Amino acid sequence: MSPLSCKKCCSQSYVKSGHIRSHQRYRCKEWGCQFTATKTRGVNPALKSFAIVLYSHCGVSMGNLSKLFKVSTVAVLKWVRNAAAQIEDKPVQKPDIIMVDEFWHFVNGKKQNLDVASH
């Protein structure tokens, strides 16, 4: 088991400070904040990144991701929004040369003017 440390400053200098919901509470000597020895909450950041890749590149829906990772769809939406906010906007460069390949069949395709009523 890893040694207990403050959740805010990672200091191992603390004193006991009562109980909360049958858990021992500790007070950090450096910051004065209180914490308990419970396991960390949330999803692993690597799994969040994997969920974003699945959503953006593989087309997996937010509902399926929420079932897969056992979180709410709102949590998946927040992951996607945070990832989108971290992307730098790069200016889109306009192409210098445009290739028109096999466009002639559309332009020259109707050279004959057929009159349906004359037949």
* Tens-digit pLDDT profile for residues 49-73: 999 999 999 989 999 999 999 999 9
- CA angle (29 as vertex; 28, 33 as ends), nearest 5: 35
Structure tokens belonging to residue 68: 């897969």
Q: Do residue 34 and residue 60 come from a single domain? A: no
The verdict on residue 18 lying in a domain is: yes
- What is the rounded distance in angstroms from the CA atom of residue 17 to the CA atom of residue 35? 9
**Residue 2 within any structural domain of the chain:** yes
In a domain, 9, yes or no: yes
Residue 105 vs residue 5, higher pLDDT: 5
Give the model confidence (pLDDT) of 78-103 as tens digits. 999 999 898 887 777 777 776 666 66
Which class for 65: exposed (0-12), middle (13-18), buried (19 or more C-beta within 10 A)? buried
Query: In angstroms, how far is CA 74 from the centroid of its own chain?
Result: 12
Report the percentage of the chain scoring pLDDT > 90.
39
Question: Is 106 within the bounds of a domain?
Answer: no
| Same-domain status, 52 and 77 | yes
Answer yes or no: is 108 within a domain: no
111 in a structural domain: no
Residues 77 and 52 in one domain: yes
- How many domains are contained in the chain? 2
Domain boundaries, position 74: 45-86
Rounded mean pLDDT of 102-112?
Answer: 61
pTM over 0.85: no
Residue 77 in any domain: the answer is: yes
Kindly state whether residues 32 and 51 are assigned to the same domain.
Answer: no
- Continuous segment of H or E residues that includes residue 86: helix 73-86
Which of 19-23, 38-42, 63-67 reaches the highest mean pLDDT? 63-67
Encoded amino acid at 59, one letter: G
Percent of the chain topping pLDDT 70 = 80
pLDDT band at 1 (very low <50, low <70, confident <90, very high): very low
Contacts of 14 (CB under 8 A, 6+ apart): 4, 5, 6, 26, 27, 28, 29, 35
